[in-house]
Amino acid sequence: MTDRVLGVLGGMGPLASAQFMLRLTLLTPAARDQDHIPAVLWSDPRVPDRGAARLGTGPSPLPWLMRGINGLRAAGCGTIAIPCNTAHGWFEPMVRDAGVPILHIVDAAATDLRRIGIAGGTIGLMGTAATLAMKLYQDRLNAQGWDIIEPEPQQMERLVTPAIASVKANRVAEAYLPLAEVVNSLASRGALAVVLGCTEIPLGIQAGPADGLRVPVVDTIDALARAAIAWARPGTVG
Amino acid sequence: MTDRVLGVLGGMGPLASAQFMLRLTLLTPAARDQDHIPAVLWSDPRVPDRGAARLGTGPSPLPWLMRGINGLRAAGCGTIAIPCNTAHGWFEPMVRDAGVPILHIVDAAATDLRRIGIAGGTIGLMGTAATLAMKLYQDRLNAQGWDIIEPEPQQMERLVTPAIASVKANRVAEAYLPLAEVVNSLASRGALAVVLGCTEIPLGIQAGPADGLRVPVVDTIDALARAAIAWARPGTVG
């Protein structure tokens, strides 16, 4: 039994944060309710669009993010996980004022790449246009020894961006084919694995057959859940 | 866009409350993140076992339940949903001190029975031994015109109770066959539908083929999610 209460800053999108709670539960070694990790999920889908803010066409989400963090801290949470990649564009200002540690989703993805045996070489990266533009993954992963390739701009426009919007609108099954096409295109360009660097992308990928993908993918929802379990239960996950 | 923030008192078990968040999201009419319902999930799996407390063999969960309710109220929640049937055994003391309304899962199940066209007649009821013993469903549903039949005591011991424990231990697939056997046994005794009056049971039932069930089932996770959406968005669900 643990007294470490996990805070989850979610709602971005709400399906991804619900899936995070599900995966957090399923990945936790447990034999009964009382073995699971106490957690508070602050699911606020009203947070202004992170992509629009990053591209300069919408208001900053930071005040909304801080409101959630303060709510989670008031609820007694000892660390915070944010199952939204794009929101990590505000990681530094959040960490500065949070008063509690925040797990970084890119570090969680790097740990997961090593877990599946890909400790270096070329990997593909998929995410929102904003996540790719802000170099959220590229800088941190380059520094740890991976080379990164990204979808072509027209693949972003035609395939990735519409598929992410489909998931946010609950049309998950439609997202599989366009996303799988991009995974396989990155594989044909030499990627040993593809990091699904937007929490909506794994939901679309899971809506179709896994054998339609030519390389392994890193699900950043699962990666972040594993990092959260490692925090709550040191020593239980590798 | 709504300003009604839903409070979810969960963790009993944690898989059921994560599933509740997922179904809340998927059942909400939405085209983008900002159309979804703001919610705070207080997932505290440390709440003492509700069944043991009801049977007099364990401590009361009420102080833990009230702690969660107070936390949700402090977070700004305007009403509370509790995706755990057995916890509704403490509904009256919770409501008395909550300071905000609490949706009743049995009323949500009754609404769902009518939604699928079963407005009266005999229905089956499955749940924990504690839920059945405290007559949580029977009294409220009898009063609204349904006759209730329950699994035989040896079916509870051999099939239902172990299947619920399997789900709480993340062994969801094992739960399907014993639960489906009980659904079909109730059908053969005349049930027009079966209410799955424990939030772990639908998770086990969904782990196998729907065409293995001879009558419709009411998923109390979905029923409670629909009631929550009706509160947050009056007029959007039937």
Specify whether A209 is located in the same domain as A122. Answer: yes
Would an 8 Å CB–CB cutoff place B22 in contact with chain A?
A: yes
Q: Is residue B1 part of a domain?
A: no
pLDDT reported for residue A15:
92
Alpha-carbon separation of residue A237 from A140, B15, B185 (angstroms)? 23, 19, 41
Confidence (pTM): 0.92
User: What's the residue count for chain B?
Assistant: 238
Specify whether A121 is located in the same domain as A207. Answer: yes
Residue A110: which of A135, A151, A150, A146 has the closest Cα?
A146
Specify whether A62 is located in the same domain as A154. Answer: no
Judge contact between A185 and A212, C-beta under 8 A.
Answer: no
Nearest to A33 among B12, B31, B41 (CB): B12
Q: Is residue A238 part of a domain?
A: no
Residue B174: which of B183, B182, B165 has the closest Cα?
B165
Specify whether A189 is located in the same domain as A138. Answer: yes
Specify whether A100 is located in the same domain as A195. Answer: no
CB contact under 8 A, B22 and A32: no
Specify whether A194 is located in the same domain as A98. Answer: no
A–B CB contacts, 8 A cutoff, strictly below: 135
Task: Give the whole-number percent of chain A exceeding pLDDT 70.
Answer: 98
Specify whether A71 is located in the same domain as A114. Answer: no
Specify whether B187 is located in the same domain as B208. Answer: yes
State the Cα–Cα distance between residues B123 and B217, nearest whole angstrom: 10
pLDDT surpassing 90 at residue A189: yes
pLDDT reported for residue A54:
87
Which residues in chain B have their CB less than 8 angstroms from residue A31's CB? 168-169
pLDDT surpassing 90 at residue A63: yes
Contacts of A7 (CB under 8 A, 6+ apart): A39, A40, A42, A69, A72, A73, A75, A77, A78, A79, A80, A81, A100
Q: Is residue B237 part of a domain?
A: no
- Amino acid identity at A120: G
State the Cα–Cα distance between residues B158 and B26, nearest whole angstrom: 34
Taking residues B44-72, what's their average pLDDT?
A: 94
- Total domains in chain B come to 2
DSSP bridge partners of A149: A124
pLDDT surpassing 90 at residue A210: no
Specify whether B100 is located in the same domain as B152. Answer: no
The band of A238, judged by pLDDT with boundaries at 50, 70 and 90, is very low
Instruction: Select the more confidently predicted residue: A68 or A13.
Output: A68
Nearest to A18 among B11, B22, B46 (CB): B22
Taking residues B10-25, what's their average pLDDT?
A: 94
How remote is the C-alpha of A182 from its chain's centroid? 18
Domain that holds residue A15: 6-104+222-232
Q: Is residue B121 part of a domain?
A: yes
Q: What is the CATH number of the domain that holds B19?
A: 3.40.50.1860
pLDDT reported for residue B225:
98
ipTM of the complex: 0.92
- Over chain B, what is the mean pLDDT? 94
Specify whether A141 is located in the same domain as A214. Answer: yes
Specify whether A158 is located in the same domain as A195. Answer: yes
Nearest to A21 among B21, B26, B37 (CB): B21
Specify whether A188 is located in the same domain as A83. Answer: no
- Report the residue of chain B nearest A50, measured CA to CA: B33
Instruction: Select the more confidently predicted residue: B54 or B90.
Output: B90
Q: Is residue A122 part of a domain?
A: yes
